[in-house]
Amino acid sequence: MNNLDKKDKYLGCILGGAIGDALGAPIEFLNHESIISKYGDSGVQSYVEYPNGKGEFTDDTQMLLFTAEGLLRAKHRAVLKGIGGAQTQITYYSYLRWLNTQGLKISKMNDLSGFEEGWLIKRKELYKRRSPGGTCISSLQSGEMGTFEKPINDSKGCGTVMRIAPAGLIFSHDREVAFEEGAKICAITHGHTSGYLSGGLLSAIIADISNGLDLQASISNGLEILKRWKGHEEVYDSIKLALDIHRSYINKDISNLEIKMIGEGWVAEEALAISLLCSLHYQNDFKKAVVTAINHSGDSDSTGAITGNIVGLIVGKNQIPQDWKDNLMFKDIVEEIGVDLAIGCKSYYDFPDEKWHLKYPGY
């Protein structure tokens, strides 16, 4: 794709996720019956959190932004030094910056040099607690970085998949690399295989879509990679269920009843499966896909965010409803990250771009 198309698609992915997150945020802890009772038979169709019709994203998008920041810093380092491999560690430090925005102390971190450098941590709009996930908080506060070999816990919460889309964009050159690197980043905070493999799978799917593959093919390719990983069964079965439901309702709308067959989305494999079901069913209709993904008894903001990432990447920013774009709070932060992900890096080997270095220092 040319640079204009790439920018539109990447912006669609990142902005679409933030929009889905903001739409689902006010109903995250409501069951379907309560949603219908409060908002009518069609459920939530626009931002409802504030009287002025504005929408605000949650910790899901906050963490996605810091995922992107970490990966862009790592890419900058790799370009300047000619070697890669530090992306997980650098993204971990970006997550610690996010933890700082939540007003929490960081344990066992002695070297704070450069910690407050870069542009994202300076955006005070992000210094808000928007229902952050307990596992992400406790993992990061521990001062230890989880890995495949040394899991930090046994959690498989959806805090893995809701933040990982930037990995698929950064490593779009190779779905296998996108899967592994996405899973490594998820394992920083979530030690259960279903948690980090769900994130790896979404990363691989995002990578393929960004290269022009359709969603069905992207899922199939991702599942082939998934099957080679130990402990993949739970994730695989959830995604296969979503595919079966999609085929069974191919000429019908899906609703809370079909989503309920998968679960509520509080755990990673369910959140991913629900999002893939909504994305497959309405992959050329951003509004329909996201509205379906949020109006269910479960983790509405996370399934809205993941669906927004996927369908936003498919259709691009220009196909997202204008009023949803106009009324998203702090949209400029989200769009700046989307544009920078499309750029990748402005520096060249041994020739740093000074402004880019100030935005994304390579550490």
Report d(CA 58, CA 101) in Å as an integer.
13
248 marked ligand binding residue: no
Q: Residue 277 in contact with residue 238, Cβ under 8 Å? A: no
59 marked ligand binding residue: yes
Report d(CA 26, CA 269) in Å as an integer.
23
301 marked ligand binding residue: yes
CA nearest to 280, candidates 271, 269, 289, 267? 289
Rg value, the chain, Cα = 19
Q: How far is CA 106 from CA 112, 115, 162, 184, in A?
A: 10, 12, 23, 21
302 marked ligand binding residue: yes
Q: Residue 289 in contact with residue 307, Cβ under 8 Å? A: yes
Bridge partners of 328, per DSSP, are 55
Q: How far is CA 281 from CA 56, 191, 245, in A?
A: 26, 31, 10
Q: How far from chain centre, in Å, is Cα 124?
A: 21
φ, ψ (nearest 5 deg) of residue 276: -70, -35
CA angle 297, 25, 247 (to 5 degrees): 45
Q: Residue 134 in contact with residue 172, Cβ under 8 Å? A: no
Bridge partners of 351, per DSSP, are 348
Report d(CA 76, CA 363) in Å as an integer.
9
Q: Residue 35 in contact with residue 43, Cβ under 8 Å? A: yes
Give the other-Cβ count within 10 Å of 95's Cβ: 22
Q: Known binding site for Mg(2+): residues?
A: 58-60, 299, 301-302
Q: Which residues are annotated as a binding site?
A: 58-60, 299, 301-302
